Amino acid sequence: MSAEPLKHPVARPRPGGGRRYGAVAIALHWLLALMIAASFSVGLYMAGLPFSPLRLRLFNWHKWAGITILTLSAVRLLWRLSHPPPPLSARIVDAMPGWQLSVYRSTHLLLYLLFFAVPLLGWAYTSALGLPVVLFGVLPLPDFVAVDKEFAEAVLKPMHQVSAFLLAAVVGVHIGAALKHRFVDRDDLLDRMWI
């Protein structure tokens, strides 16, 4: 394990070395991408609904999705720490200015931080409201913070919302950069994580 586990190697690939992520890393990447997009969409939709059975169902689904995202993020991080990514190709490294490489690394680090922050803040918000999280309706999870409805509404709810929108923005930058590499730079960066 390296001293900087989230740093993407920027070196010429070894002869015969893989240029793609492994199947587990690719599966976790795309599963988390789908779950985050769905959970964000449901969160936006349910926020505008009046109190109703539908809103309660969506709220529970959103909580379950958040806990699942948190769990998969932990699995992904553990996998990432024990399975370093393939190095960037020499063509990509030579073509990218230093600031782009810095943004590349910073974006990935910020994504990992937000993968944990968004669901943890949502769980804290739910706990502070006094609403238990019962995963899939069968597994009760402990409260993350003490019940304090004022704190929940004034602090935790806005923090959860801001971090969710920040995650959406960083994901947008991530997608935009991948598409730039595919269609403008015409390099193999996207192939590293493509199904």
Tell me whether residue 2 is in a domain: no
CATH no. for residue 71? 1.20.950
CA 177 to CA 193: how far, in whole Å?
13
Tell me whether residue 183 is in a domain: yes
Tell me whether residue 142 is in a domain: yes
List per-residue pLDDT tens for the chain, 195 residues long: 444 445 555 444 433 345 899 999 999 999 999 999 999 999 999 998 999 999 999 999 999 999 999 999 999 999 999 999 988 888 888 888 889 889 989 999 999 999 999 999 999 999 999 999 999 989 999 998 999 999 999 999 999 999 999 999 999 999 999 999 899 988 888 889 987
Handedness of CA 118, 124, 130, 135 (dihedral sign): positive
CB 28, CB 19: distance < 8 Å: no
Tell me whether residue 18 is in a domain: no
When divided into structural domains, the chain yields a total of: 1
Q: Which of 88, 87, 81 is nearest to 2 (CA)?
A: 81
Domain of 60 in residue numbering reads as: 23-192
Reported pTM: 0.87
Helix 98-129 to helix 53-82 angle, to the nearest 10 degrees?
A: 140
Tell me whether residue 41 is in a domain: yes
Tell me whether residue 103 is in a domain: yes
Backbone angles phi, psi at 96, to 5 degrees: -95, 125
Tell me whether residue 17 is in a domain: no
CA 144 to CA 98: how far, in whole Å?
41
CB 178, CB 189: distance < 8 Å: yes
Tell me whether residue 10 is in a domain: no
